[in-house]
Amino acid sequence: MKLHQSISLRNYNTFGIEIPGNIAEFYSEQDLLQFMEAQPDGPALILGGGSNILFRNVPQGWIWKNSIPGIQVVDRSDDFVLVEAGAGENWHSFVQYCIEQQWGGLENLSLIPGQVGASPMQNIGAYGVEIKDVFHSLRAVNLKSGVAREFSCEECAFGYRDSVFKNVFRNQYMITAVRFRLSRRNHVLHLDYGAIREELERVGNTEPDIRAVSEAVIRIRQSKLPDPKLLGNAGSFFKNPVVSKDLAESIKSRFPQLVSYGVDAQSVKLAAGWLIEQAGWKGYRQGDAGVHTKQALVLVNYGKASGDDIWQLSELIVRDVQEKFGVVLEREVNIC
Ligand code: EPU
């Protein structure tokens, strides 16, 4: 365990927000249990890679940071492997490790920032795959009782950027390890997300494998999404809103190019990035808070923006999109 008192949190959040805080970093479940005894009030905040968080206020008390390492095979058959990763493992390094072993299932989720432990929190997803598609189970410690338990896929109640850990069990558990069921052979690649096929065609790859898909995803992400090491951001700031078919139709009558995806008989998902761009915000900058020039769903910190600067910009966008399209955008990033 490492304790970092009154330090800058700038390197602990990919938005690069400068704010002070205290961090207790755990490397094992034992570390966690030990710290729980000393700090029975619980965490001010649970932190993983800090890639989906916006600090608006100085966190009071200790931030509990999960750095539990380790990757191990728990079970394997001819067709599948069950692999477990410690919650503190870097997500992309873990994905790369699986690709090197030729295990299929995570390739579309390449280059997502953050840690393994945070991946089930919001059921991370990209390019047609969500972790729930390959998730097996996870282990988490109850922060009141100190008792560890397993959660199955069903018990996590995954939804679009959602799980029980974001609502009913918010701040009640610390995820310590996650298990994935990956393919060892006959893996079905998910190439249905348009941009992947286009990218593979562009490089002339007609028989892609796991690695080729991962490399295509990396190139697509690099072309649209800013590298947090170079420009502070937390990926998509808003969720893609799900609206009624009637509302989508009425918007479409005014904007025939509206980007939408069917959800069920009554509802449709809209591309928030498209709405924000149409409302004129793409590339907008106010002080050091801005809207990314290549992906309007991503808010960026050009250097010295405070959490509140980013928040205020997001408020302007929410209000404007609501006025123009009658759609209320919901934030995807956790605001603290
Ligand atoms: N679009 C615009 N203008 C923009 C951005 C997007 O017109 O500024 C349009 C695109 O042309 C496209 C559609 O909106 O027709 C969708 O865009 P894109 O494929 O870039 O994906 P997204 O819906 O904006 C979601 C996820 C991303 C994920 C991508 C790819 C959410 C909130 N975001 O973005 O996830 O990488 O799909 O699967 O669901 C994240 O969660 O942090 C994240 C980056």
What is the CA(309)–ligand 1 centre distance, in A? 23
Distance CA 286, CA 312 (A): 10
When pLDDT is averaged across residues 153-168 and rounded to a whole number, the result is 96
203 falls within a domain: no
215 falls within a domain: no
Q: Over the stretch 196-236, which tens digit does the pLDDT of each residue have?
A: 999 999 999 999 999 999 999 999 999 999 999 999 999 99
Q: Which atom of ligand 1 is nearest to the CA of 160?
A: 39
pLDDT at 104 over 90: yes
What is the CA(293)–ligand 1 centre distance, in A? 13
- What is the pLDDT at residue 39? 83
The residue that leads in pLDDT, 43 or 68, is 68
Strands (E) across the chain are located at 2-8, 20-26, 45-47, 53-54, 62-66, 71-76, 80-86, 125-126, 129-130, 135-142, 148-152, 173-183, 232-236, 242-244, 260-262, 267-270, 285-286, 289-291, 298-301, 334-335
pLDDT at 249 over 90: yes
- If one residue of 52, 163, 236 were mutated to test the ligand 1 pocket, choosing by the most ligand atoms within 8 A of its CB, it would be 236
- What is the pLDDT at residue 44? 87
Active site residue 236: yes
Query: β-strand 334-335 against 71-76: which pairing, if any?
Result: unpaired
SS3 call for 23: strand
CB-ligand 1 contact for 123 (6 Å cutoff): no
223 falls within a domain: no
Residue type at position 116: V
192 falls within a domain: no
pTM, two decimals, is: 0.95
- Among 161, 179, 181, 221, the active-site one is 161
107 falls within a domain: yes
Q: Which atom of ligand 1 is nearest to the CA of 292?
A: 8
Query: Which of 20, 44, 66 finishes a domain?
Result: 66
- If one residue of 131, 297, 332 were mutated to test the ligand 1 pocket, choosing by the most ligand atoms within 8 A of its CB, it would be 297
Query: Which of 36, 66, 96 finishes a domain?
Result: 66
Are both 78 and 179 inside the same structural domain? yes
Distance CA 237, CA 296 (A): 9
9 falls within a domain: yes
- What is the pLDDT at residue 253? 97
CB-ligand 1 contact for 127 (6 Å cutoff): yes
Query: Which of 125, 151, 183 finishes a domain?
Result: 183
Do residues 111 and 92 touch, judged by C-beta distance below 8 A? yes
Query: β-strand 53-54 against 334-335: which pairing, if any?
Result: parallel
Total of domains in the chain: 3
Percentage of the chain lying above the pLDDT 90 cut: 95
Active site residue 77: no
Domain that holds residue 313: 232-335
- What is the pLDDT at residue 61? 92
Are both 103 and 46 inside the same structural domain? no
Q: Over the stretch 106-154, which tens digit does the pLDDT of each residue have?
A: 999 999 999 999 999 999 999 999 999 999 999 999 999 999 999 999 9
pLDDT at 194 over 90: no
Can you give the CATH number for the domain in which 168 is found?
3.30.465.10
Do residues 336 and 53 touch, judged by C-beta distance below 8 A? yes
What is the CA(295)–ligand 1 centre distance, in A? 7
- What's the pLDDT band for 40 if we cut at 50, 70, 90? confident
pLDDT at 308 over 80: yes
Under 8 Å CB-to-CB from 141, ≥6 apart: which residues?
29, 32, 33, 147, 148, 173, 174, 176
325 falls within a domain: yes
Q: Which atom of ligand 1 is nearest to the CA of 272?
A: 24
- What is the pLDDT at residue 151? 98
- What is the pLDDT at residue 42? 85
Are both 78 and 173 inside the same structural domain? yes
222 falls within a domain: no
